[in-house]
Structure 1
Amino acid sequence: MYETLSTQLSEGIFIITINRPSKMNALNATVMSELALAIDEVYTNKDIKSAIITGSGEKAFVAGADISEFLSLTTTQGAELAKKGHVVFQRIEECPKPVVAAVNGFALGGGCELAMACHFRVAAENAKFGQPEVNLGIIPGYGGTQRLVQLIGKGKAMELMMTADMIDAGEAYTLGLVNHVVRLEELLPKATSILQKIHTKAPLAIAKVVKCVNAYYKTGVDGFETEVTEFAECFATKDMQEGATAFVEKRKANFIGE
């Protein structure tokens, strides 16, 4: 189905693998278009409960964008490129189902931005993160200037983007850029185990957590009001009735996402 991606659905987990090993899984126009289609599938396919985004091979998650595509771009075309990237990555960020980045090597430039658009990140010990765009005379264009600040704070984000330095998985964990660091062979099992735990929770409530947390960063949106509204709406769901009843009856809840 895809030229630059491979996908696999198992037990409700949809694994999306960027598959351009000869190019270190670099993002190009085709990857972005196909990634948009794959994320649409996460939204619409009822058999998909969550997703993992990773890269093929052991060297790179996504080692940046395909720079050869940049050489002929005008200012207008550059804006269009950035806007398309923003749309795709925002769809990931706002997905009502959990999306985890399993970072298996270099996550640079657009690759780091892709990882940051996911709800959280699990990294292999060999992972490297960075926003080296200033080396090319450009800046991050797929949301990196915003999401890196959100995740690690203004000062360190400024330093990393200005120096173009790479950081290893250990430092990324210390800074809060990644949630877990594991051996490479444990990467997908770790991401899978976290998602399997989330699968036991109320799907509608999970979606509302995503919406409320993202509201914190949206200009003109009151996150507290969003929380009140989303909290109240939970009381009209069968899942809330099931969860509360199961708690009182001291049994495991069986959520149906309604």
Structure 2
Amino acid sequence: MLRNILSPAFIRPLSNQKTLAVRALSTSVICRPAAVDEQKTYTHILTETRGKVGLITLNRPKALNALCSDLFTEVNEALRAYDNQSDIGAVVITGSKKAFAAGADIKEMKDNTFVDTYKTNFLGHWAEMTQIKKPIIAAVNGYALGGGCELAMMCDIIYAGDKAVFGQPEIKLGVIPGAGGTQRLVKAVGKSKAMEMVLTGNVNLNATEALQLGLVSKVVPADDLVEEAVKTASTIASMSQPSVQMAKEAINQSFEVPLSAGLRWERILFQSLFGTADQREGMNAFAEKRAAKFTNK
């Protein structure tokens, strides 16, 4: 769809560009349920609202938060609900106790055949995360291995606790990373390091190494990790949400389309924000040297 929108035949005059941008963003979002019910009891995750931030904690500590299908179904349900909740502007995902997520659940995977994985759309539910419009911050508190590393890379920003460990050991199981690990990792750390990590399965990155390579944007003492991630999420949530969501869309497209197409799409999104109440408020507030009061309109 995006490539069609970005073709010359679909680049419309400025008067139609806002409609194009809004339509493209709205149609890229999956079906939305009601807002998160804080009273709901999930089996594998915990949910909490902190101001304008939704917090999801993976909660299978005895299994080092291994990613079974039911856990990921719950994560997607909570994410879709937060995405639909107007007073939530960003989401943080973290793990309970010693792990963020130590990979996919091997007990669930080991007897699968190609037909099984195809019929059950084994990795399809992972892709739903990429359709969430609101920014997601991964607060990686411990092991982020295999699917756990891939889950972190699906998020928009990664903060690491000082004890965090990142790795892609799937080759040792006779498979390869299948939820973005061969694609997102190379964009984050470069071809040589990604090849070394994936082909040997032995190379794990500590938090400092992950920061130096650009896999994470900040390393935080473990005890402060969630609070720091929520603080950043709160800052994002205080911005104009149309601007935030369009910025996320534009940056993500830089990984998916040629530069010329990405630049055209960026211009469409940029121009579509002019004339909005938030654009006027933001620029007036700057001129008047005061904090902006965005209404998300």
TM category (shorter chain) comes to over 0.9
Whether the aligned pair in 1 keeps the contact of 2:46 and 2:56 (CA below 8 Å) is: yes
1:22 aligns with 2:59: no
- Code of the aligned partner of 2:250: C
- Give matches, 1:106-255, under 5 Å: 106-164=143-201, 165-219=203-257, 222-255=261-294
User: What secondary structure does 1:144 align onto?
Assistant: coil
User: What secondary structure does 1:209 align onto?
Assistant: helix
2: CA distance, partners of 1:176 / 1:77: 36
TM-score by length of 1: 0.94
Whether the aligned pair in 1 keeps the contact of 2:53 and 2:237 (CA below 8 Å) is: no
How big is the shift at 1:47? 2.2
How big is the shift at 1:18? 0.5
User: What secondary structure does 2:112 align onto?
Assistant: coil
1: CA distance, partners of 2:174 / 2:129: 23
Whether the aligned pair in 2 keeps the contact of 1:89 and 1:142 (CA below 8 Å) is: no
Count of paired positions: 253
- Code of the aligned partner of 1:224: L
User: What secondary structure does 1:145 align onto?
Assistant: coil
2: CA distance, partners of 1:218 / 1:232: 21
TM-score by length of 2: 0.82
How big is the shift at 1:163? 1.4
Structure 1 stretches of at least 4 aligned residues deviating more than 4 Å after TM superposition: none
1: CA distance, partners of 2:258 / 2:270: 20
Change (3 A) 1:41 1:25: same
Q: What are the Cα deviations for residues 50-78 of structure 1, in whole angstroms up to 9, with x where unaligned? A: 11000011x10000011011122111333
1:66 aligns with 2:105: yes
Task: Look at both structures and tell me which one has the larger radius of gyration over its CA atoms.
Answer: 2
How big is the shift at 1:236? 3.1
Moved more, 98-107 or 76-85: 76-85
Identity across the alignment (%)? 40
User: What secondary structure does 1:149 align onto?
Assistant: helix
2: CA distance, partners of 1:239 / 1:116: 30
2: CA distance, partners of 1:38 / 1:151: 27
Q: CA RMSD in A?
A: 1.4
1: CA distance, partners of 2:214 / 2:227: 21
2: CA distance, partners of 1:177 / 1:50: 20
Q: What are the Cα deviations for residues 80-120 of structure 1, in whole angstroms up to 9, with x where unaligned? A: 212332x23323xxx32221000010000010000001011
